[in-house]
């Protein structure tokens, strides 16, 4: 079966080689002679746990090494010597998550070369970049210098870690392209506690120009739909479709009411059959509405979708502020794009938390960067699986033959606990052979 996006192929062996180059640049604070384990071994050991979706993977491989003199951490991931879990944590703690970004760039470039990124284009032939924050650690006791704090009325403090997890989404697709995360954490010289919106601005400062060149539209919830952030997007050459709620945008909705009285709010109605009932989609849209009550306020275009059933019951309602010029045809595309923002929750954050990646599991907190570095490696493992599903024939075939990613890695976890495979290719070939029909039996007289 050929790759679906052309001849450009990336295998786990290719990815592992690039991982070695990336991890070789990790910060090594050791000054003594205890350098048995390399930073590459520490990085690959941690990544292998997340890739295999098995918190006990290294424990199993140490046992396999004792029994067989070989292990899959070495043959599949190139780990020369497996450090202990505590040693791995101590080695990785000084390295910030930004050190992993070259891997995200490498995998994104591979997807570009294969045509996957262009296939993700949507409204106006733009890429849809969804932004959202998600909390992945919370404790009343464990904390580090990069924790945010949540102070309660009873005087207690909760320490938390939150990440902004940008992804490329597309309406109708169940796959997202995960991008390098940005972490909400105290900033040097800042008087206020860091927040999701400020972290998103930092991410855009590093990556916004690149995505502007790729012609990108930013999606976000109501938090992002305020004038300073929208002007930041415009200054970078990025379009936007952002949730715009009446409760937080009184000026916008005062203008909508005024324009409606003058007949400047346009309405488009579509009725469709879902297979069970008729539903009616009512789109409304208007142009050049000030986003806030101020002289020289940024003007946006506004659109709204209300979906009702045959009895007039409202099933869905949401509205968006956008840079797109709206027409009766374009408003349907813009709303579909705006609604796809939910994929950052359903196809990314929830997958990371509930589908085997254990994103909220405390693999180790550390005193410096360990928590955020490990979180970045977990997201990188998810991106790697996505890349392999698009670009590795054997992996894609296994995903097609097995009912879920979790079932696939349950099988891999079992096999690699008892058997050692020379390579990723050998492992996937072994699994695919089990799906081959048995040879015909000779006829008996």
Residue 192: predicted pLDDT: 87
**How sure is the predictor about 1, in pLDDT bands with cuts at 50, 70 and 90?**
very low
**How sure is the predictor about 32, in pLDDT bands with cuts at 50, 70 and 90?**
confident
Mean pLDDT, all residues of the chain: 94
**How sure is the predictor about 444, in pLDDT bands with cuts at 50, 70 and 90?**
low
Over residues 54-77, the pLDDT tens digits come to 999 999 999 999 999 999 999 999
Write a three-state SS string for the chain.
CCCCCCCCCCCHHHHHHHHHHHHCCCCCCCCCCCCCCCHHHHHHHHHHHHHCCCCCHHHHHHHHHHHHCCCHHHHHHCCCCCCCHHHHHHHHCCCCHHHHHHHHHHHHHHHHHHCHHHHCCCHHHCEEEECCEEEEEEECCCCCCCCEEEECCCCCEEEEEEEECCEEECCCCCCCEECCCEEECCCCCCCCCCCHHHHHHHHHHHHHHHHHHCCEEEEECHHHCCHHHHHHHHHCCCEEEEECCCCCCHHHHHHHHHHHHCCCCEEEEEEEECCCCEEEEEEEEEEEEECCCCCCCCEEEEEEEEEEECCCCEEEEEEEEECCCCCCCHHHHHHHHHHHHHHHHHHHHHHHHHCCCCCCCCCCCCCCCHHHHHHHHHHHHHHHHHHHHHHCHHHHHHHHHCCCHHHHHHHHHHHHHHCCCCCHHHHHHHHHHCCCCCCCCCCCC
Q: What torsion, rounded to 10 degrees, do the Cα atoms 97, 100, 102, 103 define?
A: -140
Distance in angstroms (rounded) separating the CA atoms of residues 410 and 28: 34
Instruction: Give the residue among 98, 86, 103 at the shortest CA–CA distance from 46.
Output: 86
Q: How many CB atoms lie within 10 A of CB 138?
A: 15
Q: What is the rounded end-to-end Cα distance, in angstroms, of the chain? A: 39
pLDDT, average across residues 9-36 = 89
Residue 438: predicted pLDDT: 64
Residue 351 has pLDDT above 80, yes or no: yes
pLDDT, average across residues 239-255 = 97
Residue 189: predicted pLDDT: 77
Residue 197: predicted pLDDT: 97
Over residues 135-174, the pLDDT tens digits come to 999 999 999 999 999 999 999 999 999 999 999 999 999 9
Cα 101 to Cα 69, 346, 377, distances in angstroms: 35, 24, 10
Residue 2: predicted pLDDT: 39
Over residues 301-349, the pLDDT tens digits come to 999 999 999 999 999 999 999 999 999 999 999 999 999 999 999 999 9
Residue 36: predicted pLDDT: 85
pLDDT, average across residues 279-287 = 98
Residue 357 has pLDDT above 80, yes or no: yes
List, in order of start, the domains of the chain with CATH numbers.
12-95+361-428 (no CATH), 120-352 (3.90.350.10)
Residue 210 has pLDDT above 90, yes or no: yes
CB 265 within 8 A of CB 259: yes
């Amino acid at each position: 079966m050929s790759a679906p996006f052309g001849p450009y192929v990336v295998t786990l062996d290719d990815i592992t080689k690039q991982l070695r180059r990336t991890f070789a640049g990790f910060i090594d604070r050791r000054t003594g002679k205890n350098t048995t384990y390399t930073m590459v071994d520490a990085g690959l050991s941690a990544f292998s746990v997340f890739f295999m979706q098995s918190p006990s993977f290294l424990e199993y491989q140490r046992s396999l090494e004792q029994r067989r003199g070989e292990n899959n951490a070495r043959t599949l991931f190139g780990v020369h010597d497996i450090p202990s879990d505590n040693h791995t944590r101590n080695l990785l703690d000084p390295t910030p998550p930004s050190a992993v970004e070259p891997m995200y760039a490498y995998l994104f470039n591979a997807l570009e070369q294969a045509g996957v990124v262009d296939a993700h284009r949507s409204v106006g032939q733009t890429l849809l970049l969804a932004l959202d924050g998600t909390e992945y650690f919370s404790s009343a006791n464990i904390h580090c210098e990069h924790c945010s704090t949540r102070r309660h009325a009873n005087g207690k403090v909760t320490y938390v870690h939150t990440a902004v997890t940008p992804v490329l989404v597309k309406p109708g697709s169940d796959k997202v392209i995960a991008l390098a995360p940005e972490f909400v954490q105290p900033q040097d010289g800042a008087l206020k506690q860091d927040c999701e919106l400020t972290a998103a601005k930092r991410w855009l400062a590093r990556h916004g120009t690149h995505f502007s060149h790729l012609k990108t539209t930013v999606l976000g919830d109501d938090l992002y739909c305020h004038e300073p952030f929208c002007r930041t997007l415009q200054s970078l050459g990025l379009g936007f479709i952002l949730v715009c709620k009446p409760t937080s945008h009184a000026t916008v909705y005062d203008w909508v009411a005024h324009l409606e009285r003058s007949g400047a709010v346009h309405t488009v109605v579509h009725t469709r059959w879902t297979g069970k009932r008729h539903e009616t989609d009512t789109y409304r849209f208007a142009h050049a509405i000030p986003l806030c009550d101020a002289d020289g306020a940024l003007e946006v275009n506004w659109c709204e979708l209300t979906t009702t059933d045959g009895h007039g019951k409202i099933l869905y309602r949401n509205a968006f502020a956008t840079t797109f010029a709206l027409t009766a045809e374009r408003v349907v595309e813009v709303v579909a794009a705006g609604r796809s923002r939910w994929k950052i929750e359903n196809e990314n954050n929830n997958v990371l938390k509930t589908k085997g990646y254990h994103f909220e599991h405390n693999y180790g907190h550390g005193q410096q960067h360990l928590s955020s570095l490990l979180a970045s490696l977990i997201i990188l493992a998810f991106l790697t699986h996505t890349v392999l599903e698009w670009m590795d024939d054997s992996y894609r075939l296994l995903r097609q033959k097995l009912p879920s990613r979790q079932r696939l890695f349950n099988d891999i976890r079992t096999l690699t606990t008892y058997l050692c495979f020379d390579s990723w290719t050998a492992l996937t070939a072994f699994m695919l052979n089990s799906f081959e029909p048995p040879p015909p039996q000779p006829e008996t007289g």
